[in-house]
Structure 1
Amino acid sequence: MNRKLGLLLTIVLALTVSACGNKKDSGAVSDTTTTAPVSEDTSNQTLFNTGLTAQELRDLGIEGDPLNYKVLYFEYNSSAIDRRSTVIAKRHAQYLGANGGARVTLEGHADERGTRDYNLALGERRAQAVAEFMNSEGAQSTIQTISYGEERPADPAHTEAAWQQNRRVEIKY
Structure 2
Amino acid sequence: MPFKSHARLLALTFSLALIAGCSSTGGTQDGTTDGSRSGTDSSDAGTGQVSSSGVGTTGDRASQQADGRIPEVRTIYFDFDSDTIKSQYEPVLTAHARYLRSNGDARVVLQGHTDERGTREYNMALGERRAGSVSRFLEVQGVSPSQVEVVSYGEERPAVQGHDEEAYAENRRVVFDY
Which residues of 2 match residues 22-171 of structure 1 at below 5 A?
A: 59-62=55-58, 64-66=60-62, 67-140=71-144, 142-171=147-176
Please give the per-residue CA displacement for 1:96-119, whole angstroms capped at 9, x wherever unaligned.
Answer: 000011100000000000000000
How many residues end up aligned between the 2 structures? 116
User: TM-score if structure 2 supplies the norm length?
Assistant: 0.62
Runs of 4+ in 1 over 3 A off after TM superposition: 58-61
CA distance in structure 1 between the aligned counterparts of 2:96 and 2:72, rounded to whole angstroms: 9
TM-score by length of 1: 0.64
Structure 2 distance, partners of 1:89, 1:60, is: 16
The alignment-based identity, stated in percent, is 44
Q: CA deviation at 1:65?
A: 2.3
Q: Which SS does the other structure have where 1:156 is aligned?
A: coil
Unaligned runs of 5+ in 1: 1-57
Superposed CA RMSD:
1.5
Gapped regions of structure 2 (runs ≥ 5): 1-53, 63-70
Identify the residue that residue 36 of structure 1 maps to in structure 2: none
